[in-house]
Amino acid sequence: MNTQLLEEIGLTPGETKVYLTLIRLGETKTGQLAKEAKVSSSKVYKILDRLTVKGLVGHIIKGKIKYFSAMEPKRVLDYIDEKEKDLQNKKELVKKMIPSLELEQKMSGKKTKATLYEGIQSIKNFYLSILDDLSSGEHYYVMGATYGPNLPGVKEFFQNYHTQRSQKNIKVKMLANFETKDNLVKATKLNSEIRFLPQYLVSNMMIVFYKSKAFIFFMTEEPTGFLIENEEVTKGFRSYFDTFWKIAK
């Protein structure tokens, strides 16, 4: 007999042993039951109480002595049905709870979302999303600004982008690579604060962050980016940014 199955439907090992012993012995007193089931006398009463609540055990009194017996084996199916009903009720309650849990998670800022982007168009789309996410007077930050290896259309895109950004009065605080000092498109300087990283900190990696978004990408022949949405992450990048800002010129 697969006794493990009874445990899988919710009986404890002790309950399983006592129930199967009652099936085998029939009506019996607790002393013999404890001995045959190999459980202590102190525990057998608690186990019988739990099995009674589950509808699997009953008792009668003869001469002031309780005799216990297992209910019909079909009662196990009734027990499973009751568990299913109870689980369904709890499922419905959890469904009602989920919106408030999601709101609390969102408000806590702990939820993290990460997305991989590939191709120059995905980089452009991220920048355009900044224009949608930020309002007049709000800031975003850039570390390691560079145009990469002369990718076609990149400078034209950023000239148009920064023009739109300035018109919306969205401000940028930028740490650009030293190599771009005399090479930034003119519109970059509108509504912006710009400093240049020393040559030893130059790389083709860029980090753009604001609010709860941090976008890390590489301006290579085939650009790749990684967007992380987590407020704690952006706070961490802000600490790095402030440190580098002090040494940039």
For 220-237, the pLDDT digits (tens) are 778 888 899 888 889 989
111 pLDDT tier (thresholds 50, 70, 90): low
Instruction: Give the per-residue pLDDT at 105.
Output: 64
Alpha helices in the chain (DSSP H): 3-8, 13-25, 30-37, 41-53, 75-108, 120-133, 154-167, 231-247
Q: What is the largest CA-CA distance in the chain?
A: 105
Instruction: Give the per-residue pLDDT at 109.
Output: 53
Residue 182: which of 210, 157, 147, 216 has the closest Cα?
Answer: 147
Instruction: Give the per-residue pLDDT at 202.
Output: 64
More confident residue, 140 or 98: 140
CATH topology for 113-247 is Endonuclease; Chain A (3.30.870)
For 20-73, the pLDDT digits (tens) are 999 999 899 999 999 999 999 889 999 999 999 989 999 998 888 889 999 988
Of 155-164, 200-209, 214-223, the range with the highest mean pLDDT is 155-164
Is residue 110's pLDDT more than 60?
A: no
Residue extents of the structural domains in the chain: 3-76, 113-247
120 pLDDT tier (thresholds 50, 70, 90): confident
Instruction: Give the per-residue pLDDT at 8.
Output: 86
233: tokens are 């992450």
Mean pLDDT, all residues of the chain: 87
For 129-179, the pLDDT digits (tens) are 999 999 999 999 998 877 777 777 888 999 999 999 999 999 999 988 877
What CATH number has the domain spanning 3-76? 1.10.10.10
Q: State how far the Cα of 188 lies from the Cα of 145, in Å rounded to an integer.
A: 11
Is residue 84's pLDDT more than 60?
A: yes
